[in-house]
Amino acid sequence: MATIAVIGAGLAGLVVSHELARVHDVVVFEKSRGVGGRMATRCAGSFEFDHGAQFFTARSAAFRAFLEPLIEAGVVTNWPARFAELRRDEIIAIWQWGEEHPHYVGVPAMNAIGKALASGLDIRLDTAVRSLTRSGERWVLVGDGQERLGEFDWVIVTTPASQAADLLATTSIASAAAKARMDACYALLLGFDDPPDLSWQAALVRDADISWISVNSSKPGRQANSSLVVHSTNAWANAHVDDDTETVRRHLLDECREVTGIDMTGAAFVDVHRWRYANVDRKEGDLFALDAEQRLAACGDWFIRGRIEGAFSSALALAGKIGREIT
């Protein structure tokens, strides 16, 4: 049995941990207060927002098989949204998402998936890993306060690429993270006492600085009051990633008014969340990085594409490879 440290409790970290913990002693370190990464949900009074990943699809047989027990447990379900494609303020097309090509969400919120996968794992929340150093044949993890977090046979880094690059800077697999570029995204969160009059529940937006609008409260299992989640384009977020929150809020509200024809400045709740590492363009190449001799690895959606299934595929492939290396 090997001791394995996994850094990051997003989907990739949870999947690789879940697979390896069947046989090995796995400890997961997560710098934030919760698990799931961008499968995140924020509650604000009577409002609730899935402010990261909005939904996901399942293309591979492996991912569909992975989802089956979560669907049976009621943690994942299809979202039969009325979906629109918009070009600025014009509706190009509108149709109903069906069962033949499911668009999955977590129930009763997107973060329910991470919580379900975390069950039974040894996860240390609010614990940031500052550095990795070798001590003989083992890795020593050091925290933000220079405290020693433990010694491990293996280390697997599953954080976003930029954070992974910092941790792996002096290691043999540093280049894998260093060359990956992740895009930013802003999420505008709007809560309403009186729901806005929209003819759709989810919309892809073109030719604007916002790319997505969803009626979050229309997703299955939601009990909260009317809420909208609006995502900026990656291009606009990259160009304005260090702008002050008020400037971003005003611009995204202006874009919402231009696209929907509705002034949403009077919403009962308005806030902005910045995702500095939100997405990555489709990549061709390795599904993960691994130095078996040094017992060091990295995985995540940034090896493939910024989608939930990309994180799963990268983590599953790495877990299988490490399992074979150890045995």
Domain ranges of the chain: 1-31+127-181+285-327, 40-110+183-279
For the chain, the 3-state helix, strand and coil shares in percent, each to the nearest 5, are 25, 30, 40
DSSP, residue by residue, 171-205: STTHHHHHT---EEEEEEEEE-SS----S-SEEEE
For 27-54, write each residue's pLDDT tens digit: 999 999 999 999 999 999 999 999 999 9
Cis? peptide before 108, omega within 30° of 0: yes
Q: Which residue from 137, 127, 89 is spatially nearest to 258, judged by alpha carbons?
A: 89
Find the farthest-apart pair of alpha carbons in the chain and give their distance in angstroms, rounded. Answer: 64
Q: Are 269 and 44 in contact (CB under 8 A)?
A: yes
The answer, yes or no, to whether residue 285 has pLDDT greater than 90, is: no
- What integer pLDDT is reported at residue 223 of this predicted model? 83
Q: Which residue from 72, 64, 63, 48 is spatially nearest to 217, judged by alpha carbons?
A: 48
DSSP bridge pairs for 249: none
Please give the CATH topology (third level) of the domain spanning 1-31+127-181+285-327.
FAD/NAD(P)-binding domain (3.50.50)
Q: Are 234 and 226 in contact (CB under 8 A)?
A: no
| Mean pLDDT on 77-101 | 95
The answer, yes or no, to whether residue 4 has pLDDT greater than 90, is: yes
Name the residue type at position 225. Answer: N
Q: Are strands 25-29 and 122-124 parallel, antiparallel or unpaired?
A: parallel
Kindly compute the dihedral angle of the four CA atoms of residues 108, 109, 114, 120, in this order, to the nearest 10 degrees. Answer: -30
Q: Are 171 and 295 in contact (CB under 8 A)?
A: no
Q: At what angle do helices 61-72 and 308-326 cross, to 10 degrees?
A: 100
Predicted confidence band of residue 179 (pLDDT cuts 50, 70, 90): confident
Q: Are 188 and 252 in contact (CB under 8 A)?
A: yes
- What integer pLDDT is reported at residue 326 of this predicted model? 87
The answer, yes or no, to whether residue 283 has pLDDT greater than 80, is: no
- How far is the C-alpha of 319 from the C-alpha of 302, rounded, in Å? 17
- How far is the C-alpha of 113 from the C-alpha of 109, rounded, in Å? 8
| Mean pLDDT on 130-156 | 95
pTM: 0.94
| Mean pLDDT on 212-222 | 97
Residue range 40-110+183-279, CATH number: 3.90.660.10
Which of 2-16, 175-189, 235-249, 250-264 is predicted least confidently? 175-189
- What integer pLDDT is reported at residue 281 of this predicted model? 72
Name the residue type at position 139. Answer: W
Predicted confidence band of residue 146 (pLDDT cuts 50, 70, 90): very high
Q: Which residue from 124, 67, 72, 77 is spatially nearest to 97, judged by alpha carbons?
A: 77
The answer, yes or no, to whether residue 272 has pLDDT greater than 90, is: yes
